[in-house]
Amino acid sequence: MTTTDLVITIFSTTGIVGLLLLGLGLLARSLYGQVLHRDLETHKSNLEKITFEHNVRYESLHIKRAEVIAKLYETLHYAEIASSRMVDYARGPNESTYQDDYKMAYDTSKALLSFFNVNRIYFDKSLCDKIEVFINALIRGLSEFQVVLSGMDTQGNTDEYVKTWQKTWNRVKTDLPQIREELEDQFRYLLGLEPPES
């Protein structure tokens, strides 16, 4: 074997080995790419499932929160109306008594407090504080109006219970609507209807 034959044999063997190695490399790369693609598709599928579950949970929470807001606002509205009726001065002969209106205001306020306490988890702390301000104003109005009713029943100091009545009237007719309007803005914001006002 001559040197030329030896060189040709070395190059051809090296070339065949090189081609084999190149082929094996391409095959390994292709297999690795398929494995990566399959893993990518699996991760993509898992991410889509997680996203779907999150969206369903978020939508369910939003729907539940909207239901709670609607019921809370309805209960709040009835409590405000009952309290407003309670402090009205003028009564016709066929209208309810002050005591009946007090009882209605008491019952609706109690229902509001109960519903709120059970569902306060759906609201942040600052909104809970605002709702409590409304409820506390209702309760103070009820407490003050008890003094008015006592004065009426005992024919006590007329000036005293008239002043208390006026104070209660102002709280119920002026303070409660202002607080309710603030709450309405927050409820609308939570429902996605408008941004809160500062």
Q: For residue range 179-193, what is the model confidence (pLDDT) as tens digits? A: 999 999 999 999 888
Give me the chain's average pLDDT, please: 85
∠92-86-160 over CA atoms, to 5°? 100
- What dotted CATH number matches 57-190? 1.20.120
Q: Give me the residue spans of the domains in the chain.
A: 57-190
Hunting for tokens 């939003």 — which residue is that? 62
> Measured between alpha carbons, how far is 76 from 74 in angstroms, rounded to an integer?
5
SS3 content of the chain, % helix, strand, coil (to 5): 85, 0, 15
Residues whose CB is less than 8 angstroms from the CB of residue 35 and which lie 6 or more positions away in sequence, other chains included: none
> Measured between alpha carbons, how far is 82 from 84 in angstroms, rounded to an integer?
5
Q: For residue range 47-96, what is the model confidence (pLDDT) as tens digits? A: 888 877 877 777 888 899 999 999 999 999 999 999 999 888 777 778 88
Quote the pTM value: 0.70
Q: For residue range 137-170, what is the model confidence (pLDDT) as tens digits? A: 999 999 888 888 877 767 666 777 788 888 888 8
